[in-house]
Amino acid sequence: MSGLNDSEVPRITRRAALARGAGGLAAAGSLSALLAACGSSSSGSASSASSAGGATSAAAGSSSASSSAADMGSMTGTMTLLSYPGWYGPHEFADFSKEHPGLKVKTAVTGTTGVAAQIAQVANNPGAYDLSLAGVPVSSQMHLAGILVPLDTTKIPNLKLVPEEFRKALPLGIPTDFGKTGYGYRKDLIPERPTSWKDLIDLAPKYSGKITMIKYDSDIQGSFLKALGYSVNTKSEAELNAMQKTLLALKPHLQAILETDYSKALIQGTALFAIDYDYDIAAAQQKNKNIVWVAPTEGMSAYLEGWVALKGTKHLGAVWDLMNFHLAPKNYASFVNATGTAFVEPSPYIDKSISENPSLKYTPGALSKVEFEQYTGPAQVALRGKLWEEFLAA
């Protein structure tokens, strides 16, 4: 199998295992308690998290100016990365250890049972972990919980290889990968050539029972907010209700809402449309050349994730070095080639099956239509979770 097809296992497993709508409701309450216990601000708004991220970036220069060798910690021993299973280059840590004799990198699994559990895992075990994979909403909440080290960009020169759009969206860590929600269709089985969310919605009655959808609340809700011209991160109850009305109107025409094997029916032709992730459609296209990826003209909801440094690490200098090592073009390409993810750093070493795939490649113009999901506060998490449960139950 190619690296692209191999990527289906870690990607699908880790996405399907994350918290669903009901889990989001539980997480909202437990996370609020955790943030309060950690002494964070009582405000959990997106603007608070965003401004906090900006302050962190601004503080990086001052923190680096006062850093000493002691501040950087030990360059020997073992440091631990919290991550999804296999979500790194296959030889990355062994190669890093060759450049840092006496220092070993090990991994521990995180992020597969929900946001609150991931943050509690770090907060309840201070100093046990050195860095963690975290998306934009999770990193914002970690910052509110006071468990992150401000990013020192002066120690990570390869960060400049990552386009500014990604760096601005994830100011608390180094961006590593992202994923967009769009849809695929079978060009050999339908005469239409849809290009928008509106096209899909309008075609749904004609192709009723031939449309599948991923079962992931924030990505689906964000997509249909974009379909209506709204922000993925809106807090407007009226806009959220309009999104819910659109989803409920579409639901009778769905064949299935899928937790795994998102594109299987599309590949087989038992479904004609699949509302799905870019990486999954890219893998499906390797199996059936008649599958077309659509990046809807209204825009797309997307997640962005990366590595953040954790408070209590005894290897801070090594953490910065590992981040920089990960972003070195050959090392970064090894990670992308092994996982098949949409990449945040162009590299000539990325397999052409990925770098030239219409589902995964991007241009600045295309990125301008992508909106990354943010943490919008516990009240919003609870409201959206309630809407999602109502949609599933309808």
pLDDT digits (tens, 9 = 90+) for 252-267: 999 999 988 999 999 9
> What's the mean pLDDT in 210-235?
96
Q: What's the DSSP call for residue 309? A: E
22 pLDDT tier (thresholds 50, 70, 90): very low
pLDDT at 15 over 50: no
Task: Look at the chain and count its residues.
Answer: 394
CA distance 344 to 364: 12
Strand partners for 106: 80
Strand partners for 80: 106
35 pLDDT tier (thresholds 50, 70, 90): low
The reported pLDDT for the residue numbered 361 is 86
> Taking Cα atoms as reference points, which of 158, 213, 129 lies closest to residue 324?
158
195 pLDDT tier (thresholds 50, 70, 90): very high
The reported pLDDT for the residue numbered 118 is 83
**Radius of gyration for the chain, computed over Cα atoms and rounded to the nearest angstrom:** 21
pLDDT at 19 over 50: no
Predicted structure pTM score: 0.79
Cα dist from 361 to 23, 40, 180, 321, 345, whole Å: 32, 38, 11, 28, 10
Q: pLDDT tens digits, residue range 90-142?
A: 999 999 999 999 999 999 988 665 677 788 899 999 999 999 999 999 999 99
The reported pLDDT for the residue numbered 358 is 87
Which H or E run contains 95? helix 92-99
> What's the mean pLDDT in 18-27?
33
**More confident call, 334 vs 369:** 334
Token duo for residue 162: 């990552």
Query: Mean pLDDT, the chain, as a whole number?
Result: 84
Token duo for residue 348: 């000539």
What's the per-residue H, E or C state across 251-309?
Answer: HHHEEEEECCCCCHHHHHCCCCEEEEEHHHHHHHHHHCCCEEEECCCCCEEEEEEEEEE
The reported pLDDT for the residue numbered 6 is 34
Task: Report the amino acid identity of residue 160.
Answer: K
The reported pLDDT for the residue numbered 32 is 53
The reported pLDDT for the residue numbered 327 is 98
The reported pLDDT for the residue numbered 112 is 61
Q: pLDDT tens digits, residue range 336-386?
A: 999 888 999 999 999 998 999 988 988 887 888 899 999 999 899 899 999
Identify the structural domains of the chain with CATH numbers, from first to last.
3-178+303-362 (3.40.190.10), 180-301+383-393 (3.40.190.10)
Q: What are phi and psi of 290, to 5 degrees?
A: -90, 0
Which H or E run contains 133? strand 131-135
Which H or E run contains 34? helix 21-37
Cα dist from 257 to 91, 108, 157, 285, whole Å: 36, 31, 43, 20
CB 60 within 8 A of CB 153: yes
pLDDT more than 70, % of the chain: 80
CA distance 210 to 380: 32
pLDDT at 66 over 50: no
CA distance 21 to 389: 6
Question: Which pairing describes strands 131-135 and 300-309: parallel, antiparallel, or unpaired?
Answer: antiparallel
The reported pLDDT for the residue numbered 84 is 87
